[in-house]
Amino acid sequence: MRKGSVSRRRFLQAAGAAAVWVPSSVKGYTVAEMRSLSAEGEIQEDISKWELDTPALCVDLDALEANLQTMQRTVAANGIASRPHAKTHKCPAIARRQLESGSVGICTAKVSEAIAMFEHGIDRILMTTTNVTSVKIERAMGLRRWCPGFIQATDTAENARDLSEAAQAIGINADVVVDVDSGGHRTGIPPGRPALELAQLVDRLPGLRLAGLLCYDGGSQHVQGFAERRARTLDRVAPAAETKVEMERAGLNTEIFSGGGTGTYNIDHETAGLTDVQVGSYVFMDAQYLAIGGATDPEVYSDFEPSLTILTTVLNSQYEGQVTTDAGAKACTINQPWPIVKGETGMTYRSGSDEFGTLRYDDPSRTYRTGDKLELIVSHCDPVVNLYDQMYAVRNDRVEGVWQIAARGMST
């Protein structure tokens, strides 16, 4: 243990207020130093998160674990499974915890993301996006060759034929699900006859094995109010559910009927035949999801705890009523609602500038000093995570590990 680190940590925790003053005698830890300390696994030193160089992305392990448990308990009670979307966290350490907590697999949005996950030991992967170019189809089928738990979505007959050809070329039999449009017209084939015919084609094509269908209605997830959200999502996914029945009548395999997300995780089991939810944000929560309201609290969606925060440092405090911090759009994105300043009331954050955060506060008696640390609950977790190469795994403010965001930037 580093000399003096216990007393430093005690001091930092004793600071109590949400804005934490870190004395200049504290050296601080850079990303490189933290990576080196964690190279052997869990960090043995006693390092407070307040000692981290900023901006720093942190995940609170107690909150993360509580979220995993809540999800698993709920879906199990409702007779379905979870297949969490790794596009949210892009982090193999979290994917492993999701599988360990009982999830049947993970989802990815991009083939490069799927490959990064597989390279880090995750071997049950549903790719929810159709790959339409030769290079991506080859990569997906190449992944399937080494990863029998890889499942690929498709949404046109032409694409199914391309998949079939690529699978045959390398001598595999690839699992495929049909992506059914929920009416958002973003991805997927229309439900009913078009989807059924595509499923039949997949079932017939050599090199492919029909595994079922998926239907994700992104537009439902952030609908304000539980009743409104429930009504919309059940309505939107109903045509896919009917398609599933038609597929069964036609003797097709429908072992997977995947859909839903964090906003509808406790509603989706009401869609007949749905097998699993592609929940993403529940692991972290964020300001956007907190604002949609839940089944019990119409104001705040409190089913899950915010676990993902950004630590930031005050760079300038010489102007009344505002401070400038080191976390701007490149550390927070410009998604709205703006990040929430944890534990501080009457303080609003804006990341309108690329490099700097601007925080305004109402209470003129409140003072902040240059060097003070603040903690932000992120606005929208997915694109924020995609800005960082690592997140610090923290319990009771102590850094337990440095988790690689292995699929960061994997947009291809």
Contacts of its own copies in 308-327 (CB under 8 A): 313-316, 318-319, 322, 324, 326-327
Helices (H) and strands (E) in the chain, counts: 13, 17
| Selected binder of its own copies within 3, 24, 39, 40 (CB under 8 A) | 24
Nearer to its own copies, 72 or 156 (CB): 156
What span, in angstroms and rounded, lies between the C-alpha atoms of 115 and 386? 16
By CB under 8 A, the residues from 31 to 60 that bind its own copies are: 31, 53-56
By CB under 8 A, the residues from 332 to 351 that bind its own copies are: 333-335
| Selected binder of its own copies within 12, 22, 163, 176 (CB under 8 A) | 22
Q: Which two tokens stand for residue 12?
A: 């930092």
331 lines the binding site for its own copies (CB under 8 A) = yes
Q: Is the distance from CB of 357 to CB of 327 less than 8 angstroms?
A: yes
| Selected binder of its own copies within 4, 148, 218, 225 (CB under 8 A) | 218
What span, in angstroms and rounded, lies between the C-alpha atoms of 296 and 303? 9
197 lines the binding site for its own copies (CB under 8 A) = no
| Selected binder of its own copies within 60, 162, 276, 375 (CB under 8 A) | 162
DSSP element (H, E) containing 37:
helix 31-37
Nearer to its own copies, 82 or 221 (CB): 221
Nearer to its own copies, 75 or 199 (CB): 199
Binding mask of the shown chain, residues 374 to 393, with x at each position contacting its own copies by CB under 8 A: --------xx--xxxx----
Nearer to its own copies, 30 or 396 (CB): 30
By CB under 8 A, the residues from 225 to 264 that bind its own copies are: none
Q: Is the distance from CB of 27 to CB of 33 less than 8 angstroms?
A: no
138 lines the binding site for its own copies (CB under 8 A) = yes
Q: Measured between alpha carbons, how far is residue 32 from residues 281, 309, 320, 394, 402 in Å?
A: 28, 20, 36, 17, 10
For residue 320, the 8-state DSSP code is: T
Question: Parallel, antiparallel, or unpaired: how do β-strands 81-82 and 398-404 relate?
Answer: unpaired
| Selected binder of its own copies within 2, 10, 73, 186 (CB under 8 A) | 186
For the chain, how are helix, strand and coil distributed in percent, rounded to 5? 35, 20, 45
For residue 269, the 8-state DSSP code is: G
Residue 69, Cβ neighbours under 10 Å: how many? 12
By CB under 8 A, the residues from 349 to 378 that bind its own copies are: 353-356, 358, 370-371
Shortest CA distance to 85 belongs to which of 108, 67, 111? Answer: 108
Instruction: Specify the stretch interacting with its own copies by CB under 8 A; choose among 126-134, 198-206, 338-346, 395-403.
Output: 126-134
By CB under 8 A, the residues from 71 to 110 that bind its own copies are: 87, 109-110
